[in-house]
Structure 1
Amino acid sequence: MREDLFPDRLSKRLGALSIISRSRRLGHHKGTHRSSKTGTSLDFSDFREYHPGDDLRHIDWNVFARTDKPFIKQFLDEQEMRVHILLDSTKSMGTDGKWDFARQLAIGLGHIALKSGDTVSFSTWSTSRNYFFRKKGALHRASFSKYVSQLQEPVAEGEFADQVVKHVPKAMTVLFIITDGLEQLDKWERLFRRLPGVCKDIRILTVHSPVEELPAYEGDVRFVDVENGSVIEVSMNQRIVKEYKEKKMKHEAELTALARKYGIQILRTEVSEGVMDSFTKKMRHAGWLR
C-alpha cells in the first residue's frame, strides 16, 4: 500500500488543467464543459425568434427596439463530463515500477476531472474481485487517491484486452485506458473494433519502463513470462538486444496504427520521465488537456 503515491504537491502542480473532449455525450448535470446545446450559462451563444411560452427575461429589448420583433438570447449550456479510467492489472504491470507509475496516472486524471466537477469512475480487477469507484466533485479527490493507492500488486490472470469491455460503464464521455500494451496485436484489434460502440472518445496511455526499453542483461539468461510462466533461455549479446528492440518498436508502431484505424487516440508514457511530464507536456501537446 502506498498512501503517499500522489502527494498534495503533485496534485497542486496539475494547476488549472482540464480534460478536453469533442464528444457530444455529456452528463445530465451541471458542470464546466461546453455542450453543443444551449442552456443557462452566462456565455452568449446566439439569437432566435421569440415563441409563446419562452422566458420573457431572455428577450433582448435592444434588438426589439431596432427590429420591432422579439428575439430570445440563447446561452451556451455547461455540463459535466463522465470520465472513466480503466487500469490494466495483469502481472506484467507489476514489473520495473510500472504499477506505481500507472496508478499515479490514474490518480492525476481523476483529480483533474473531479476538480472540474465531472463524474469520475475507475475500474480494475484481480483474480478474486472487481474494483469500482464512482464519485463527482473536487471533495472526493482524497478518497479517490486513497482508493487507487491501496490497490494491491497486479495479479490478474487472462488477457487484459479480452476483459476490457465488461469493466467499462455505459454512456461515458471519455474513456482512459492505462496499460503496457504488451498483448498480441490480434487481441488489441478485436478490442478496438468493439470500443467505439462503447465510447466515442477513447484514449490509451501505454506505460514503458527503462528495463523494457534497453535490457541490461549479459551472458546466459533465463527469462520467465510473468503472465503465463513460460520459460526461455537466451544468450544475451548485442545482436539479441538489437533484435529485441526492433521487435518492440515494430509492436508499438503497429499498435498505434491499429488504434488510429479505429479512431482511438494513443499516447506513450515512460516511467523514467516522471508522471508530471505526462500531464503537463505530453497530454497537453496531444490536445487531451488544456
Structure 2
Amino acid sequence: MTSVSQLMPDRRIRQLELTITRRLDGLLRGEYAGLLPGAGSELAGSREYRPGEDEVRRMDWAVTARTDMPHVRETVAEHELSTHVLVDATPSMDFGTVELEKRELAVAAVAAIGFLTAGAGNRLGAGILTSEGVRRYPARAGRVHLIGLLRKLLALPRAQEGRQVALADAIRGLHRALRRRALVVIVSDFLDESDWAREMRRLGARHQVIAIEVTDPREMDLPDVGLLTVVDPETGRKREIATGSRALRERYAAAAAEQRRAVQQGLRSAGAAHVTLSTGRDWVADVVRHVHAQRRLALGGKR
C-alpha cells in the first residue's frame, strides 16, 4: 500500500479517486443509501395503515386522530443529497505507525464520501476541526469543489500540541448550522474527553449520521522497545515508559481496549452508523463491508 503522503497533493487526490472509483464504482456511485440506507425524508402525504406491512414508527398520529383510522406517513427519496462532513484534524490524528497516518486516512474517508455521493445536484459541505477551532466550508456541488476541499485537508499544517477544541463543541456548532435534513459524516478517532456522544444523539434526532472511527494498531498494543518517551498530542505532556515490563504492557492493552469499548458504546447510544478504519488495514475493503452490512439491514437481513 503506497502512502498518499509520498505523493504531491494533486497526484494524491488522483490516486484516491482512481482507487475509489475502480474498487467501488457501481456499488455506491449515486446511491447514498449504500452508505446509510433510509426511506427518504420528504413527506409525501399519508395513507391507511396496512397491518403486517407497515412499521408502527411511521404512524401519522395527527391524521390518525382526525380520521379515527390508523394512517402512516409516506415519504419519497430525496433526489438531491446534502452531505456534511466534520473532519477531526486535532493533534491525536497526527499519528500513524503503518502505511498511513490517521490524518491521511481521514482524507481518504472524505474522498470516498465525496466521490461516491457525487451526482447531479448533490452537495458536500465540510467542517475541519483544528486546534484553533472549526474551519467551515459551505455545501456546494461538483468535482471542483470536492477537489478543493481535499487540497485544503492535505495542506493543513501539523496541529499544535497542548491546544484543544472539544469535539462536542464542533458537533454542536454543526447541528446549529444545518437548516435542512442531511447526511452527516463525522471522521475522528473520538479520543476526546468531551461529551460528544450526547451531541451526536441530538444530531441524530434530525439527521442521518455516520461515524467513521480512525484508528492505528499501536494505539491498542505497546511494543517492547525499552525506554520509550511518549507524548500526549492533545496536551503536550511527556513521559518516559519502560516498555520491558510485561505487566505494564498488559495494563496498557487493557486500558486501550476499555477506551475503544467506551467509544463504541458512545456511538451506539448516539444511533450512528459506525465504520472503523485502521491505518493497518485495507480501508476500501472496510468501506465495502460496511456497505454490504447496511444493505442487508435495509433488506431485513435478506441478501
Same fold per superposition (TM over 0.5): yes
Q: Rg bigger for which structure?
A: 1
Q: Do residues 213 (structure 1) and 220 (structure 2) align?
A: yes
Using the TM superposition, give the Cα deviation of residue 256 of structure 1 relative to its aligned residue in structure 2, in angstroms.
1.6
Q: Do residues 15 (structure 1) and 30 (structure 2) align?
A: no
Contact 2:88/2:128 (8 A) holds in 1: yes
Cα distance in 1 between the residues matched to 2:19 and 2:296: 19
Residue 9 of structure 2 aligns to a residue whose secondary structure is coil
Q: Deviations over 1:176-199 (max 9, x none)?
A: 100011123x623343343235x4
* Structure-2 residue corresponding to 1:151: 156
Cα distance in 1 between the residues matched to 2:159 and 2:111: 16
Read off the aligned partner of 2:204 and give its amino acid letter.
Answer: P
Using the TM superposition, give the Cα deviation of residue 138 of structure 1 relative to its aligned residue in structure 2, in angstroms.
5.0
Cα distance in 2 between the residues matched to 1:153 and 1:23: 41
Residue 5 of structure 1 aligns to a residue whose secondary structure is helix
Flag the 1:142–1:192 CA change in 2: closer, same or farther, 3 A: closer
Cα distance in 2 between the residues matched to 1:268 and 1:247: 19
Residue 150 of structure 2 aligns to a residue whose secondary structure is helix
Using the TM superposition, give the Cα deviation of residue 23 of structure 1 relative to its aligned residue in structure 2, in angstroms.
6.1
Residue 246 of structure 2, aligned match among 227, 231, 238: 238
Residue 124 of structure 1 aligns to a residue whose secondary structure is strand
Cα distance in 2 between the residues matched to 1:289 and 1:194: 23
Structure with the larger strand share: 1
Q: Do residues 103 (structure 1) and 107 (structure 2) align?
A: yes
| TM-score normalised according to structure 2 size | 0.69
Using the TM superposition, give the Cα deviation of residue 119 of structure 1 relative to its aligned residue in structure 2, in angstroms.
1.4
Read off the aligned partner of 2:104 and give its amino acid letter.
Answer: D
Residue 38 of structure 2 aligns to a residue whose secondary structure is coil
| TM-score normalised according to structure 1 size | 0.72
Contact 2:222/2:253 (8 A) holds in 1: no
Q: Deviations over 1:68-89 (max 9, x none)?
A: xxxxxxx966521211111011
Flag the 1:221–1:140 CA change in 2: closer, same or farther, 3 A: closer
The alignment yields a C-alpha RMSD, in angstroms, of 3.0
Flag the 1:288–1:253 CA change in 2: closer, same or farther, 3 A: farther
Residue 272 of structure 2, aligned match among 251, 258, 264: 264
Flag the 1:150–1:287 CA change in 2: closer, same or farther, 3 A: farther
* Structure-1 residue corresponding to 2:263: 255
Q: Do residues 183 (structure 1) and 157 (structure 2) align?
A: no
Contact 2:133/2:165 (8 A) holds in 1: no
Contact 1:175/1:203 (8 A) holds in 2: yes
Using the TM superposition, give the Cα deviation of residue 203 of structure 1 relative to its aligned residue in structure 2, in angstroms.
1.3
Flag the 1:141–1:256 CA change in 2: closer, same or farther, 3 A: same
Contact 2:124/2:146 (8 A) holds in 1: no
Residue 95 of structure 1 aligns to a residue whose secondary structure is coil
Read off the aligned partner of 1:177 and give its amino acid letter.
Answer: I
Structure 1 segments unaligned to the other structure (5+ residues): 26-34, 39-74
Cα distance in 2 between the residues matched to 1:288 and 1:111: 23
Q: Deviations over 1:158-208 (max 9, x none)?
A: 322333221453124211100011123x623343343235x4311111111
Structure 2 segments unaligned to the other structure (5+ residues): 1-7, 46-74, 299-303
* Structure-2 residue corresponding to 1:280: 288
Residue 3 of structure 1 aligns to a residue whose secondary structure is helix
Flag the 1:12–1:258 CA change in 2: closer, same or farther, 3 A: closer
Contact 1:121/1:132 (8 A) holds in 2: yes
Flag the 1:79–1:130 CA change in 2: closer, same or farther, 3 A: same
